[in-house]
Amino acid sequence: MADRYEELAAQIAEGMGWEFRPSADVRRNLLGQIEAVERALGGQFPESFRAFLMYFNEQLPIGPELYLMHDGVSYSGLRYALPGEETADKDDVLWVSDLVEENRRLRDRPTWLTQTPAGDAWWAAQPKWPDHLIVFAHSGMDWGYYFDLMRRDKAGECPVVVLPSAPGHETIATSFLEFARRYRDPS
């Protein structure tokens, strides 16, 4: 099983423009932590995102802010190592968000504001956040990137959708791997 994830991780690294050096078994041991996060969210991540978390969870992503996995309560001030570096520089501090916390924050809101069809006002229309959408990244502006778990393919991949996009959401990539390739450089 780890070989499949290592292969996906190599593809992600290539897509992101990173050098990939397969890690020690400690990366593969993250599968238990990934499965715990999935249980907390009520759905399984796409295979390529599992590989990303196993091999690149602690590296600075290029492009949109990716939500990562963390132990503990406070996630700000986490030290990070740039891809290809062995350790983090003492001055490199990354403000990060946690996958579970961000999804719980979305799901715990009592209502969601939706723009009227005419686009002239906002009104509460969605009483609950859909469980099949798992947020994994944010643009830094007003929209987030989500896995649509209802549309999983035979390879275990889910399309990436962006919200808000009126009406509903827009599919921007067929998988996390495609997302990584397309959004590694936001310019």
Q: What is the CATH number of domain 2-182?
A: 3.40.1580.10
- Alpha-carbon gap, residue 44 to 47, rounded angstroms: 9
**Average confidence (pLDDT) over 56-85:** 45
**Average confidence (pLDDT) over 1-19:** 77
Please, which pLDDT band fits residue 35 given cuts at 50, 70 and 90?
confident
Highest mean pLDDT: which range of 58-67, 83-92, 175-184: 175-184
Res 13: pLDDT:
81
* Residue-range domain boundaries for the chain: 2-182
134-144 residue pLDDT tens: 888 876 666 77
Is the pLDDT at 92 greater than 60? The verdict is: no
Please state the pTM of the whole predicted model. Answer: 0.69
CA–CA distance from 85 to each of 20, 21, 88 (Å)? 11, 11, 7
**Average confidence (pLDDT) over 140-166:** 82
